Protein backbone atom coordinates (compact mmCIF):
# COMPACT_ATOMS: atom_id res chain seq x y z
CA UNK A 1 0.00 0.00 0.00
CA UNK A 2 1.33 3.42 -0.97
CA UNK A 3 1.02 6.19 1.61
CA UNK A 4 -1.01 9.23 0.55
CA UNK A 5 0.87 12.28 -0.60
CA UNK A 6 1.35 14.90 2.12
CA UNK A 7 -0.33 17.81 0.42
CA UNK A 8 -2.31 20.79 1.57
CA UNK A 9 -2.71 24.51 1.01
CA UNK A 10 0.28 26.06 -0.72
CA UNK A 11 1.34 22.84 -2.48
CA UNK A 12 0.80 21.75 -6.07
CA UNK A 13 1.44 18.46 -7.80
CA UNK A 14 2.88 17.63 -11.16
CA UNK A 15 2.85 14.06 -12.49
CA UNK A 16 5.41 12.76 -14.96
CA UNK A 17 6.45 9.45 -16.47
CA UNK A 18 10.15 8.60 -16.65
CA UNK A 19 11.96 5.44 -17.62
CA UNK A 20 12.74 3.49 -14.46
CA UNK A 21 16.44 3.80 -15.30
CA UNK A 22 16.09 7.62 -15.18
CA UNK A 23 14.37 7.93 -11.80
CA UNK A 24 17.69 8.40 -9.98
CA UNK A 25 18.69 11.12 -12.48
CA UNK A 26 15.44 12.99 -11.82
CA UNK A 27 16.01 12.71 -8.07
CA UNK A 28 19.53 14.07 -8.56
CA UNK A 29 18.21 17.07 -10.52
CA UNK A 30 15.61 17.84 -7.85
CA UNK A 31 18.22 17.61 -5.09
CA UNK A 32 20.47 19.96 -7.06
CA UNK A 33 17.61 22.48 -7.10
CA UNK A 34 17.23 22.59 -3.32
CA UNK A 35 13.67 23.11 -2.18
CA UNK A 36 12.19 22.84 -5.67
CA UNK A 37 10.02 19.75 -5.16
CA UNK A 38 9.60 16.47 -3.36
CA UNK A 39 9.46 13.32 -5.46
CA UNK A 40 7.16 10.36 -4.85
CA UNK A 41 6.96 7.20 -6.91
CA UNK A 42 5.88 3.60 -6.67
CA UNK A 43 8.65 2.02 -8.74
CA UNK A 44 6.76 2.13 -12.05
CA UNK A 45 8.37 5.33 -13.34
CA UNK A 46 5.18 7.31 -12.71
CA UNK A 47 6.34 10.14 -10.46
CA UNK A 48 4.42 12.73 -8.48
CA UNK A 49 6.29 15.94 -7.81
CA UNK A 50 5.03 18.08 -4.92
CA UNK A 51 6.17 21.67 -4.90
CA UNK A 52 5.44 24.79 -2.89
CA UNK A 53 3.40 27.21 -4.96
CA UNK A 54 6.33 29.65 -4.77
CA UNK A 55 8.50 27.14 -6.72
CA UNK A 56 5.89 26.08 -9.26
CA UNK A 57 7.10 28.21 -12.17
CA UNK A 58 10.65 26.87 -11.76
CA UNK A 59 9.39 23.27 -11.55
CA UNK A 60 7.22 23.72 -14.64
CA UNK A 61 10.24 25.07 -16.52
CA UNK A 62 12.37 22.10 -15.45
CA UNK A 63 9.63 19.69 -16.56
CA UNK A 64 9.33 21.48 -19.91
CA UNK A 65 13.10 21.37 -20.45
CA UNK A 66 13.30 17.67 -19.57
CA UNK A 67 10.31 16.91 -21.80
CA UNK A 68 11.99 18.72 -24.69
CA UNK A 69 15.11 16.59 -24.12
CA UNK A 70 13.03 13.41 -24.05
CA UNK A 71 13.93 12.62 -20.43
CA UNK A 72 10.32 12.49 -19.21
CA UNK A 73 6.73 12.81 -20.29
CA UNK A 74 4.17 14.90 -18.40
CA UNK A 75 1.04 12.93 -17.60
CA UNK A 76 -2.43 14.21 -18.50
CA UNK A 77 -2.93 16.13 -15.28
CA UNK A 78 0.70 17.16 -15.01
CA UNK A 79 -0.22 20.80 -15.04
CA UNK A 80 -3.28 20.58 -12.80
CA UNK A 81 -3.01 23.48 -10.36
CA UNK A 82 -3.53 22.76 -6.69
CA UNK A 83 -3.65 19.11 -5.72
CA UNK A 84 -5.15 19.87 -2.31
CA UNK A 85 -8.61 19.50 -3.80
CA UNK A 86 -7.95 15.84 -4.67
CA UNK A 87 -8.68 13.06 -2.22
Query: What pLDDT, in 10s, does the model give residues 6-25?
Result: 778 899 899 999 999 999 99
How far, CA to CA in Å, does 87 sit from each of 23, 35, 44, 71, 76? 25, 25, 21, 29, 17
**pLDDT at residue number 6:** 75
Task: Indicate the pLDDT class of residue 40, thresholds 50, 70 and 90.
Answer: very high
Q: What average pLDDT does this structure show over 40-64? A: 92
Within 8 A by CB and 6+ apart from 66, the residues are 16, 26, 29, 72
Amino acid sequence: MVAPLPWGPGLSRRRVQVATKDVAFLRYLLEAHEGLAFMYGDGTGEISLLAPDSQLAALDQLIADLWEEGALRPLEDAFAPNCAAET
